[in-house]
Chain A
Amino acid sequence: MEAKEIIARRVAHEVKTDMLVNLGIGLPSLVANYLPKDVHVFFQAENGVIGLGARPPEGMEDPDLTDAGGGFVTALPGAASIDSAMSFGLIRGGHLDMTVLGGLQVDARGYLANWMIPGKMVPGMGGAMDLVAGAKKVVIAMVHTAKGAHKILPECTLPLTAQRRVSLIVTEMAVIEPTEAGLVLKERHPDVSVDEVIAATGASLIMHGDVPPMQLT
């Protein structure tokens, strides 16, 4: 199974019925493909829709109905279209139950950097800073290392996205929960040993007894 699919499948278990959920573009958007059948949620796209649905069949796109990546989508029965003040009011105001975002780095404090690489990549933060500052639960979905370089570090070297501890880090190797005391290793991929996770992680990990395998079905 590809790393992205492992991550998306595991994150899908964090989604519970009746949540309002915002999925970032790229890897996080894959989570919608792996929701358990009995889980019913509304997805928000911060450009202005609650109740986002899949891409429509070719020829049935509406030019005024896109997601935050600019791709064509549908609106499910019960959907609402909203302006940007309402959309970010929901995000900042504590009405968004969960956001899933990609990450460049996460550190031992649970702080995230995911919006710029000085001198290389300056796309703008878009809605990321509001999402991390405001969502009730922030899940980071990312590959564990960048071609071997650590992404989970004692302290982020890239500019932070927010001064807020994220709720959970899900990678293809492990599930890690940032806490006041530090990063707690909660689960590991069934084919990966605890020692391998520790070697691939730049910050120290706390373990409470055995580390169970991740649920991937």
Chain B
Amino acid sequence: MKHACKPEQAAEMIPDGSVVLIGGFMAVGTPERIMDALVARGARNLTVVANDTAMPGKGIGKLISAGAVSRVIASHIGLNPETQQKMISGEIEVELVPQGTLVERIRAAGVGLGGVLTKTGLGTPVEDGKPTVEINGETFLLETPIRGDFALLAARQADYVGNLEYSLTAHNFNPIMALAAETVIAEPQLIVPVGVISPDSVKTPGVLVDHLIERAA
């Protein structure tokens, strides 16, 4: 059983300089209360791995605005002008990764695979400096795993075992990131008694989750 903690306690667990995998797509499925707590703690020098950096004032956009981030690995930063400005000024280093490749690189780290072979990115700037591999006469790009120190997830509901159930398009990167970090912190909207979530509805088994954030007020 896991005791639910406050977002502030989670923010204290995450040292400056950590690599954090953060769920969400344009802030849908991002743990907003952990984002707020990291900003309040004055976190610095984080490497954020996420689909995108949302927009100013929402989700990961809050961390960008607060100057908490020095490196971003993402598929898209186009809707956050602050990320683009900070990339141009050199304050944030940005690595752009195709979305499908990004999720598989994270998954590879989480499921014990040494890399991903994909055709995505061949013949484009994504290929630069990376080895290619021939398999059955076809060429693939070799992409390496991405592991986090922390995974910060949002879920619709959890139980006190840590089982997670997600909502609609708020799944996105969350169930994958749950596999790929040393410490996994989940922020559910609700925490229900053990047994309430049907085993068939659990998308992230509780064994993967280290800490739960208390339910939303």
Contact surface of A with B, Cβ cutoff 8 Å: 45-49, 62-70, 75, 81-85, 87-89, 91-92, 111, 122-130, 133-134, 159-164
Contact = CB atoms under 8 A, between A and B. Distances in A.
Contacts of A63: 28
Contact of B77 (A49, A111, A124, A163): A124
B76 A125 contact: yes
Contact of A127 (B28, B75, B166): B75
B123 A48 contact: no
Given A88-B103, A162-B122, A126 B76 contact: yes
Most buried by B among A68, A92, A129: A129
B75 A133 contact: no
Interface string B26-59: 1111000000000000000000000110000000
B124 A48 contact: no
Contact of A47 (B25, B123, B125): B25
B26 A123 contact: no
Given A92-B100, A127-B75, A84 B120 contact: no
Q: Is the interface of B mostly helix, strand, loop or mixed?
A: mixed
Nearest to B74: A124
Contacts of A161: 124
A167 to B, nearest CB: 16
B123 A49 contact: no
Interface string B55-78: 000000000000000000011111
**9 shortest interchain CB distances as A-B pairs:** A123-B78, A163-B123, A88-B100, A130-B100, A70-B26, A124-B76, A64-B170, A129-B98, A126-B76
A82 B175 CA distance: 10
Nearest to B100: A88
B78 A162 contact: no
A164 B126 CA distance: 15
Contacts of B119: 92, 133-134, 162, 164
A134 B120 contact: yes
Nearest to B80: A123
13 contacts: A49-B168, A64-B156, A75-B168, A81-B171, A83-B203, A84-B25, A84-B51, A84-B171, A87-B100, A122-B77, A125-B126, A127-B75, A129-B101
Given A124-B78, A125-B98, A159 B172 contact: no
B176 to A, nearest CB: 5
Contacts of A66: 25-26, 28, 169
A46 B99 contact: yes
Contacts of B107: 85
A163 B123 CA distance: 5
Contacts of B125: 159
A35 B119 CA distance: 32
Contacts of B122: 133, 162-163
Contacts of B28: 47, 63-64, 66, 70
Given A122-B84, A124-B78, A130-B101, A47 B169 contact: yes
B172 A124 contact: no
Given A134-B120, A162-B120, A124 B96 contact: yes
B203 A62 contact: no
Contacts of B25: 47-48, 66, 68, 70, 84
A193 B38 CA distance: 61
Given A161-B124, A162-B124, A65 B169 contact: yes
A130 B98 contact: yes
Contacts of B87: 122
B169 A81 contact: yes
A70 B74 CA distance: 16
A172 to B, nearest CB: 25
Contacts of B126: 125, 129
A101 to B, nearest CB: 14
A160 B121 CA distance: 9
